[in-house]
A and B are shown apart, each in its own frame.
Chain A
Amino acid sequence: MTDHFSMKTLYNGESLPLAAVPLVKREDFLQGIINAVDRGWRISAMFGDGGADGVTLYAVLSAKSDGVLGVMRSRCGDSFPSITPYCPQANLFEREIAEQFGVKPEGHPWFKPVRFHRPFRPGRDAWGRDASERILPGVTDFYRVEGEEVHEVAVGPVHAGIIEPGHFRFQCHGEEVFHLEIALGFQHRGIEAGLIGGPGPRTVHQMETGAGDSTVAHTWAYCLIMEALAGRRIPAKGEVIRAIALELERLANHTGDLGAIAGDTGYLPTSSYCGRIRGDFLNMSAVLCGSRFSRGLLRPGGTGFDCSLKQADDLLKRLAAGRADLFNAVDLIWTTPSVMGRLENTGTVSIGTATELALTGPAARACGMAMDVRQDFPYGIYQMSQIPVVTAKSGDVYARTLVRWLEADKSLDFVEEQLRQLPGGPHRAQIAPPAAERIAVALTEGWRGEVCHVAITDEVGRFSRYKIVDPSFHNWPGLAMALRGQQISDFPLCNKSFNLSYCGFDL
């Protein structure tokens, strides 16, 4: 450990007194981020906080090599120099800060709203929009390629399939895509604004539904925050059940994605089988807690439900059957040349691009980035029992498919191992209310990648700011880059191989 770039370091799932977070000069803050990113740190969260009396910028960076997180903050006036030109991964964070707090990143190369909502601070609009003006998602200027033979294709927000709304603008030359720009925000529900003043009875449900397909990952991050603020560890059994739930969520979603990728190539057998097997994995979550999406399972202090030996036996039987079915269904992909022909060399993202954009999860690992919160910043039971990190090299749709399959395989092993050695004892402990004037940071590895939650409490222990970063927030720009120079007809396949969340991004 050499340099912390003026940050205070802490471990995943820890909290600090707010006063311990270094308050640095604005220039040192921004330069510190650039320098740290140059040395291999990544921006896990960067956000503003404050009200009428000014805005404070916070940065939470993570260093994989040391397994530590660094936090720092800086006062900020009405604007700050944009660091996006030197550090592309700051792009969306800076635009988000501008949209939420009306603070302008000067010199931002593509300064547009992220979610199309009113600023948290009334009257401080970064784009000078009038309060009476309606703000509609997707109504903005888009990047245009000029030329006689260039044509523009606009897709969404209403799609032919039943999927979430998002708007995609392609600049095409015939079938070739020059540029893709993605506009989101149609699902914005104001979750971050709604969390201020919490935790309350609603808070845990807001966490569970921030990105509904990543219920466990987000709720676990929230639980880590609450436990860090209360300064208490939870019973071993609770930790194990949480990990089982998280891996079942990963299994269900990876299975669904494998089927959907096959479906988009027009290959029906894997598509149909995986659709059913995904249901089998969802039903395993229901065995634990009665909800196929693990709603109500994770609660601060432990879990809302116990796992009896009988349930564990039932799950083991279902897992064995699910594993056999999944292997058969996915094996068809690797043995069918026409499918492989579609997957290989489609939607390639280089490791350089992936690193610059700070992609996360399977999308990053498919480019050869060996990063996984479960290994790099272990939390819960992953501190004791590790899951190997799976990577691939080619960065194309094939690599993302392969990584999903190998991860599913590792998750199956892990869940079986954990079910065989379920610890005894209670599954939940009472935890104290959050301590006052502290900051807590939690990272978890959802099936899409790194989920980051940061909470700051006020003098009575209420959230004065709660920041959620869904992995999709990092990965949407990766999808846009994957399409460069590709056939426009391959977009659905590339999109499915990323399978990003719209609501997790829009919050």
Chain B
Amino acid sequence: MTDILIHLLLTIFMPPLLLGVIGKTKAAFAGRVGAPFLQPYYDLAKLIRKGSVFSDTTTWIFRAGPIVTLAATLVAALLIPLGSHNSPVSFAGDMVLFAYLFALGRFFTTTAALDTGSSFEGMGAAREATFACLAEPTLFFTLMTLSRLSGSLSLTPMLTNLTVSLWFRAGAALILLVGGMFIVLLAENCRIPFDDPTTHLELTMIHEVMVLDHSGPAFAYILYGAAVKLFVIGAFFIHIALPIKTGNPLLDWGVFILSMLGLAVAIGVVESIMARLRLLRIPQLLVAACILSAFSMLLILR
């Protein structure tokens, strides 16, 4: 019961902090003080209190987009175990639901973007759909590898099964998974080198350009949904990359939180030391991620 409560509280309150940590890390690299860690929370609070402007050309899809996306992401957050603790909801085959909840969210984000009829948002939607097609196989190869390793089709046993000792047995396969999943983590969450979340240049954006027409609370849902997505995929990644378990439930929660903050710092470092890829090169890197995870599966199956 306590674990479920902590799971819910962390899922609801921690995601914006990750964005704050990324921002601080980038600021440190740039020699700036940077915005406070809690700035994303202030931004959300500000947006929630604002009014919304809706274009006359849009339909209910445009209004539903942010809500459906946020809801899908939050449900996905219930399926994923955090640290060594079981997820609140778990059943055989929930990994497929997990993958397609993100697809549902993306479907609504892109259709809401197309609904505005703006050429920018259409471009963004086309880019998002293309890159998502290429990122999805990686996720599925990863899930198949993990399910083979654990002999289960449910996320909780699949991910909590990962331990340090497993790394000694199947280290080569897991390293390939870490590489592939880190690329997907950055691509799915629109971080550099795939997308630049801080740019104001509408012609280069992928995700940001799709939500240009959203304002006020709807935009807050989008930002919050994006943070939760980073949190969920980050938690998934942490399971593979840092499967540290102490056995003490409270200590494990501490380990999980520290790992997530460490991941945010790592993302901040990547964003600070490299430039964005040319848009043409993004599919190549995503295909590389796919190949990494496919080889990982081959190693497990042999």
Contacts and interface: CB of A to CB of B under 8 A. Distances in A.
Interface of A: 151-155, 159-161, 174-175, 262, 264-269, 271-273, 276, 336, 338-339, 341-342, 346, 487-493
Contact of A268 (B203, B271, B277): B271
B200 A160 contact: yes
A268 B273 CA distance: 8
Given A341-B275, A492-B203, 17 more contacts: A153-B123, A153-B203, A160-B200, A160-B212, A174-B126, A175-B279, A267-B276, A268-B271, A336-B275, A339-B274, A341-B278, A487-B279, A489-B278, A489-B279, A490-B279, A491-B203, A492-B201
B279 A272 contact: no
Contacts of B26: 268
Contacts of B212: 160
B31 interface: yes
Interface stretch (B70-78, B87-95, B191-199): B191-199
B266 to A, nearest CB: 16
Interface string B178-203: 00000000000000110010011111
Contact of A155 (B122, B203, B274): B203
B215 to A, nearest CB: 14
Nearest to A265: B275
Contact of B119 (A151, A264, A268, A271): A151
A433 to B, nearest CB: 49
A266 B276 contact: yes
B192 A153 contact: no
Interface string B270-288: 0111111111110000000
Contact of A266 (B32, B119, B196, B280): B196
Contacts of B29: 268-269
Contacts of A152: 119
Interface of B: 26, 29-32, 119-120, 122-123, 126, 192-193, 196, 199-204, 212, 271-281
Contacts of A159: 200, 202
Nearest to B208: A160
A342 B280 CA distance: 11
Contact of B275 (A153, A154, A342, A489): A342
B199 A266 contact: yes
Contacts of A338: 193, 274-277
Given A161-B201, A272-B30, A336 B273 contact: yes
A271 B196 CA distance: 14
Q: Is the interface of B mostly helix, strand, loop or mixed?
A: loop
Contacts of B192: 266
A315 to B, nearest CB: 24
Nearest to B199: A266
Contact of B204 (A267, A271, A489): A489
A490 B196 CA distance: 13
B278 A487 contact: yes
A153 B32 CA distance: 36
A336 B271 CA distance: 13
A487 B127 CA distance: 13
A269 B25 CA distance: 12
B116 to A, nearest CB: 14
Which 3 pairs across A and B sit closest by C-beta, in order of nearness?
A272-B30, A266-B276, A265-B275
Contacts of A264: 199, 201, 204
Contacts of A489: 203-204, 278-279
Nearest to A490: B278
A56 B120 CA distance: 46
A342 B200 contact: no
Nearest to B197: A266
Contacts of A487: 278-280
Contacts of A161: 200-201
Contacts of B123: 153, 175, 488
Contacts of B126: 174
A492 B199 CA distance: 11
